[in-house]
Structure formats: C-alpha cells, structure tokens
Amino acid sequence: MFTDNFAKASLAQLPTVLELLPNLSKCLNGPNIWIKRDDCTGLALGGNKARQLEYYLGHAIAQGADTILTTGAIQSNHVRMSVAAARKLGLDVEVLLEHRVSGRKTEYYQSGNPFLIALMGAKIHYFEDGEDEDGADNKLFELADKLRKQGKKPYVIPLSENYTPYGSLGYVDCAAELLQQCKKLSFKADAIILPTGSASTHAGMLCGIRALGFDIPVLGVCIRRERKAQAQRVLNKAHQVAQMIGFKGIIDDKDIWVDDEMLAPGYGQLNQPALEAIDLLAQTEGILLDPTYTGKAMACLIDLVKTKKYTKDQNIVFLHTGGSPALFGYPEILDDDFFQH
Ligand SMILES: Cc1ncc(COP(=O)(O)O)c(C=O)c1O
C-alpha cells in the first residue's frame, strides 16, 4: 500500500461501514445515497480525525514523544479525538482552544466537545484570535518549548498549511477501503461528497482515489473558508500528499471540486439548509449530523440532488466525518423560533 512506509498507531475501529440510506434516497427521489460511517471510528465518539491521528501519533511515538499538543475551536472534534488518542496511548496532552465562533450560548463553551476534553483531563489553554492559524501554531510551539525545558518530549499536531500533512495518509487508506467496499456491493460511485476544512481529509481521499486509478469526483463542501482559498489549499495539500505516497500522476485544478454555497454565515454558524439537513437525516435515518461540518455537507448534497445534478441511476457516497458531540453545544437547534423551524 501507498502508506506502508509511515509509522502508524492503531487507534481507529476499521473498516467503517458503507451502507445505503434507503429512506433518504426515497425521500429525495434522486440517486442512491450511500453513507460511509466514519462517524463510527471509535476514539471517544468517533469521527474522521481517528484515521488522521493514527499517522500523527505514529510519528509522535516514533520520535519518543510523551506529550501531545494540538489546537482547534472550542467545539473542536479534532481536539477531542486528539485527547482521546493521547490517553489511549498513555501520553500527556495539552490543548489550545480558540475563540473562533462568536455569539454562542453557554452550552457551546461547556457541553459536547469541551465537556469531553475536560473529562479526559487535558490541560487546556485558550487562544483569543480564532482566525490566526499561524498564531495558534506558534503558541503551540511556544508551549512545546516550555515543556522541553522541563525535560518533557512534546509533539505538536499543527493546524496551518505549513507542515507535513501526515493526517491525510489516513484518507489515502480510506479511499482504498471505500473502493473495495463499492466493488463488493457492486456499484460504481459517481461522486464522493465530504466536508472540507483543513483539507486533510479531502486531499487524502482525492490522492488515494487518483492513485488507485479512479476518476471519481471528490466534492469538498467548504465549512471554513470560501471556494477559491479552499480550492488552493486542497490543491497544495494534494500535491504534498502525492509526493509523500510517491504518486506521479497529475492532480490539477480540474480535480479540485469545492462548493461554498453552504458556508454562510461562517465557520460554526448554523444556517437554514444545514438545520434542515440535520433534521432530515435524524428523522429519516436516525443519523446524527453536526452544525459545523456534516450538516452543511449534507445540505449541499441535498441541494445538488434537488437541482437534478444527478440522475436516479447514479450513486453518491456521503462521507460522514462525525462531529455529533457538537450538537450538545447548539441547544437552539430545537427552539421553535430558530429560523422557521
Ligand atoms: C466532523 C468533522 N468533519 C470534517 C472536518 C474537516 O476535516 P479536515 O480538517 O480534514 O478538512 C472536521 C475537522 O475538524 C470535523 O471535525
């Protein structure tokens, strides 16, 4: 396999299930909608970060690290799962929580992911400027320096683009797993739809699919930044990943498919289509989406189906990347007067 040369920690429960969503497909009266259940990867309630952390933590352990440091928003799934990964491997863990989303209720700060992060006993630091990725990473490296002076061996999992994207390797593996499952279930995927943030998932999946010789479009739904900036980020990361796995084929603009129609009013802020997608999946399939990532990605999928971008004989795969613990940080989802709910 392409990723065999990289150190890896065993953290995720794999393979995740690929299954049809019969009720949703019927309700939308369009293509067959399949779901890849990466929300069920284990590691303190699951999500896409489990596959990514297998490579980060593998690298950390190979370097003799004893403390993991990482950063994310207050309701970060990545931070929650990094803390779980560190605990599973018996490591210390310090996290930086960024004030990235304004105007939230008390629950946003206390319930869901921050609750679980505190429960697992991470040392928590706060970072005021949620839009300064480089600043947050620099703060992590400062904290790491302090720990080094105390005789510890810290390992930083950074957020910004400037570092080797070990996490994407988990989604190179996922591409192979998914293609094998499609084969077994006797269908050809016509598109893969996923939320795209740091772009590690998107770039890894795209490289994996292309490296295995498939031209399936991988559509990233923007949840953090607008289309142009996100497309550039995915392309840059895909080139890094291609180099890491020794893939010599070309990945260019034509492979990068991103949609920012569901981004407004911004990161971590709900909108009406995301709210409707969360409701619909809960009530037709008992599937829990989240306000920041998968609710918006599913809203995009629903919009594409409703505007007849796919025919009834086609097969669309939705990558469920997790995030449902954040639902508890957004209790207003059930308010009668929230949007036209
Ligand atoms: C639930 C969920 N989905 C999707 C993403 C985006 O993944 P990536 O950062 O690899 O683009 C995240 C990132 O934190 C996430 O928590």
Over the stretch 120-143, which tens digit does the pLDDT of each residue have?
999 999 999 888 999 999 999 999
- Is 4 within a domain? no
* Residue pLDDT, tens place only, 10-29: 999 999 999 999 999 999 99
Distance from residue 47's CA to the centre of ligand 1 (Å): 8
SS3 139: helix
Beta strands of the chain (E only): which ranges? 18-20, 32-37, 67-73, 92-98, 123-127, 154-157, 191-196, 218-222, 257-259, 315-320
Tokens of 121: 């006993």
Co-location of 125 and 187 in the same domain: no
Co-location of 225 and 280 in the same domain: yes
Q: What is the mean pLDDT of the chain?
A: 97
- Whole-model pTM: value is 0.98
Distance from residue 61's CA to the centre of ligand 1 (Å): 23
- Is 115 within a domain? yes
- Is 37 within a domain? yes
pLDDT of the residue at 131: 84
Task: Say if CB 34 and CB 279 are below 8 A apart.
Answer: no
Q: What is the 3-state secondary structure (H, E, C) of 275-311?
A: HHHHHHHHHHHCCCCCCCCHHHHHHHHHHHHHCCCCC
Residues with catalytic roles? 76
Domain that holds residue 140: 62-157
Ligand 1 pocket test, pick from 36, 230, 293, 300 with the greatest ligand atom count within 8 Å of Cβ, gives: 293
Task: Give the integer Cα–Cα distance in Å for 191 and 182.
Answer: 12
Distance from residue 321's CA to the centre of ligand 1 (Å): 7
* Residue pLDDT, tens place only, 289-332: 999 999 999 999 999 999 999 999 999 999 999 999 999 999 99
Tokens of 75: 């309701």
Nearest CA to ligand 1 atom 1: 323
- Is 13 within a domain? no
Task: Give the integer Cα–Cα distance in Å for 20 and 131.
Answer: 37
Co-location of 235 and 264 in the same domain: yes
pLDDT of the residue at 38: 99
Co-location of 183 and 316 in the same domain: yes
User: Is the pLDDT higher at 326 or at 337?
Assistant: 326
Burial call 98-125: b when 16+ CB within 10 Å, e when fewer: bebbeebeebbeebbbbbbbeebebebe
**Total of domains in the chain:** 2
- Is 141 within a domain? yes
Task: Give the integer Cα–Cα distance in Å for 18 and 34.
Answer: 7
